[in-house]
Amino acid sequence: MSPLVVAVVGPTATGKSDLALELALALGGDVVNADALQLYRGMDVGTAKLTPDERRGVPHHVLDVLDPRDEASVADYQSLARSAVSACHDAGRRAVAVGGSGLYVRALLDHMDFPGTDPQVRARLEERVEAEGSRALHDELAASDPAAAAAIGPRNARRIVRALEVIELTGRRYSASLPQHVYEVPAVQLGLDCDRAVLDERIERRVDTMLARGLVAEVEGLLRHGLGRTAARAVGYAETAAQLRGELTPDEAREAIAAGTRRLARKQMGWFGRDPRVHWLDARDPDLVARALGLVAAADAGRLGLATDDPTPRRTLGS
3-state helix, strand, coil in the chain (%, to 5): 55, 10, 35
Q: Please tell me the predicted confidence (pLDDT) of residue 202.
A: 97
- Measured in whole angstroms, the distance separating CA 117 from the mean position of its chain's CA atoms is 23
Q: Are residues 195 and 264 in the same domain?
A: yes
12 is in an annotated binding site: yes
Does the annotation flag 14 for ligand binding? yes
Is the same domain home to 298 and 210?
yes
Whether residue 135 is found in the same domain as residue 266: no
- pTM, 2 dp: 0.85
Q: Does residue 314 lie in a domain region?
A: no
Q: Which domain holds residue 125?
A: 119-176
Contact 237, 219 (CB under 8 A): yes
Helix (H) or strand (E) holding 294: helix 288-300
Q: What is the CATH number of the domain that holds 168?
A: 1.10.20.140
- Would the annotation count 49 as a binding residue? no
Same structural domain, 234 and 272: yes
**pLDDT at position 312, please?**
43
Cα distance between residue 200 and residue 69, in whole Å: 31
* Count of C-beta atoms within a 10 Å radius of residue 149: 21
> Looking at the 3D structure of the chain, how many domains does it have?
2
Same domain for 244 and 305?
yes
pLDDT for 311? 44
pLDDT at residue number 293:
98
Q: 96 and 219 in one domain?
A: yes
How far is the C-alpha of 239 from the C-alpha of 233, rounded, in Å? Answer: 9
Per the annotation, does 86 bind a ligand? no
Domain check: are 101 and 129 in the same one? no
- For residues 145 and 14, membership in a common domain is answered with no
Phi/psi for 29 (5° steps) reads -125, 175
Known binder of ligand: residue 11? yes
Provide the residue-wise pLDDT of the chain in tens; the chain has 319 residues. Answer: 789 999 999 999 999 999 999 999 999 999 999 999 999 999 999 999 999 999 999 999 999 999 999 988 899 999 999 999 999 999 999 999 999 999 999 999 998 877 888 999 999 999 999 999 999 999 999 999 999 999 898 989 989 999 999 999 999 999 887 777 889 999 999 999 999 999 999 999 999 999 999 999 999 999 999 999 899 999 999 999 999 999 999 999 999 999 999 999 999 999 999 999 999 999 999 999 999 999 999 999 998 876 655 544 454 554 3
Answer yes or no: do 225 and 170 share one domain: no
Q: Which helix (H) or strand (E) holds 123?
A: helix 119-132
The alpha carbon of residue 61 and the mean position of all alpha carbons in its chain are separated, in whole angstroms, by 15
Q: Is residue 230 part of a domain?
A: yes
* Confidence (pLDDT) at 92: 96
Does residue 48 lie within any of the structural domains?
yes
Residues 16 and 65 in one domain: yes
Give the domain CATH number at 225. Answer: 3.40.50.300
Cβ count near 297 (within 10 Å): 13
Q: Is residue 315 part of a domain?
A: no
Task: Please check whether residues 9 and 103 belong to one and the same domain.
Answer: yes
The Cα–Cα gap between 190 and 281 comes to 7
Is 15 labeled as ligand-binding?
Answer: yes
- Contact call for residues 93 and 85 (beta carbons, < 8 A): no
10 is in an annotated binding site: yes
Q: Looking at the structure, do residues 84 and 155 belong to the same domain, yes or no?
A: no
267 is in an annotated binding site: no
